[in-house]
Amino acid sequence: MKNLKLILKIAAVVAAICGIVFTIIYFRDEIVEFYNKIKGKLGKCCPCHREEDDFEDI
């Protein structure tokens, strides 16, 4: 019975890992787009991290 419980735990872990990997592969474009949106907002928090294009010509 212990072996069955161990096998079920291993199967559950493998299934969870496969589910996460499948989700990342399937929604890769959306994840990258979301990451770039968040990165873009965080990157403009102060002048030292802004892109050169964001500076106005004085």
Residue-range domain boundaries for the chain: 2-54
The residue type found at 3 is N
Separation between Cα atoms, residue 29 and residue 33, nearest integer Å? 6
pTM comes to: 0.50
- pLDDT tens string, the chain, 58 residues long: the values are 789 999 999 999 999 999 999 998 888 888 888 888 887 766 555 556 555 555 554 5
Q: Is the dihedral of CA 29, 34, 35, 37 positive or negative?
A: positive
Taking a C-beta distance cutoff of 8 angstroms, is the pair 31, 24 a contact? yes
What integer pLDDT is reported at residue 1 of this predicted model? 78
Taking a C-beta distance cutoff of 8 angstroms, is the pair 24, 17 a contact? no
